[in-house]
Amino acid sequence: METSELLKKIRRLEIKAKGLTKHIFSGEYHSAFKGRGMAFSEVRDYHFGDEVRTIDWNVTARFNDPYVKVFDEERELTVMLIIDVSGSENFGSGEKTKKELALELAAVLSFSALSNNDKVGAIFVSDKVEKYIAADKGKKHALMILRELIELEPTSQGTDIEEALKFFRRTQKKRSIAFVISDFIDENNFIEGLKVARKKHDMVAIRLVDEAERELPNIGLIQFFNAETGQTTWVNSKSPEARKMHRELYEKEEAKLLDNLLKSGVDFVSISTSEDFIKPLIKLFKNR
């Protein structure tokens, strides 16, 4: 991509994301994530009505009078964007691919974090960690993340989300909010990784879908190309049996994935490349 074209694309993303953040997402983001982390501030004398569980028993024993711990809401959070950049993300049956949808979501989430004075970083993953951007503040840093995502050319086309989750757990020592943005077409077991990460971090899964993956169009012979393995398959889409089999297989895999995400305890939402992502994202935030 030419430098001038890249700058224009980033500028368009910035304008759109900042507009959405200012008018729609800022309040939703704040209520969904702020206040979920509490930092110890001080101890003070026990007052009638204080919760027993806040009593600092060590200090109480030392001074022979009851003292309680006082906590402040953590004003600064760290947001990590774990973004799938594997071959399947290039798929899109309409005007937008999954990769382009992921880019828009990354822009909105980055500027939402920015507007709340939070740090934001990113992990781009295929079947390995392609790039890591440590969390930091500021508009310049947020725009750098978007630029890197646009320009990135993955060295591999496969998918292994668990690799990204291992890297995330290893590098993020303090509690973070992590958005895993992917279509979750992954033969590896990443659910256990989500469960482990959830014990310390606030995990959110955003699943990217394209409606053409569910229904085969009735147009005759179709050549399917697997962007992650390089394999091609021919299917006769005029066959009702073939279309039914395709739909049933997709729905079976989808049901299995959604059930596993539900059991993991991680908040998640599915967003289609053909829909406006604003409503499902706001619904996700409000349900937290």
Does 69 share its domain with 210? no
The total of structural domains in the chain comes to 2
Q: What is the CATH number of the domain that holds 195?
A: 3.40.50.410
Integer Cα distance of 245 and 138 in angstroms: 49
Digit-by-digit pLDDT tens for the chain (288 residues) are 556 676 677 777 778 777 777 666 666 776 777 555 555 567 888 887 787 878 889 888 988 899 888 765 556 789 999 999 999 888 777 788 999 999 999 999 999 888 888 899 999 999 999 999 999 999 999 999 999 999 999 999 999 999 999 999 999 988 899 999 999 999 888 999 999 999 999 999 999 999 888 877 767 776 665 666 667 777 776 778 878 887 888 889 999 999 999 999 999 999 999 888 888 888 888 877
> Given 15, 48, 73, which residue is the final one in a domain?
73
| Domain co-membership, 133 together with 234 | yes
Same domain, residue pair 243 and 255: yes
Quick one: 59 and 148 in the same domain? Answer: no
Confirm if 237 and 165 have CB atoms less than 8 A apart: no
Give the domain-ending residue among 73, 99, 122. 73
Ranges assigned E (strand) in 34-176: 38-45, 67-73, 78-84, 119-125, 129-136
- Same-domain status, 139 and 193: yes
Last residue of a domain, one of 47, 73, 99: 73
Residues 133 and 214 in one domain: yes
Q: Tell me the C-alpha distance between 268 and 284, whole Å.
A: 7
- Spell out the residues 6+ positions from residue 272 whose beta carbon is closer than 8 angstroms to its own: 209, 210, 211
- 21: helix, coil or strand? helix
Same-domain check for residues 185 and 249: yes
Q: Answer yes or no: do 191 and 278 share one domain.
A: yes
Spatial separation of the C-alpha atoms in residues 60 and 288, rounded to whole Å: 36
The residue segments making up the domain with residue 52 are 39-73
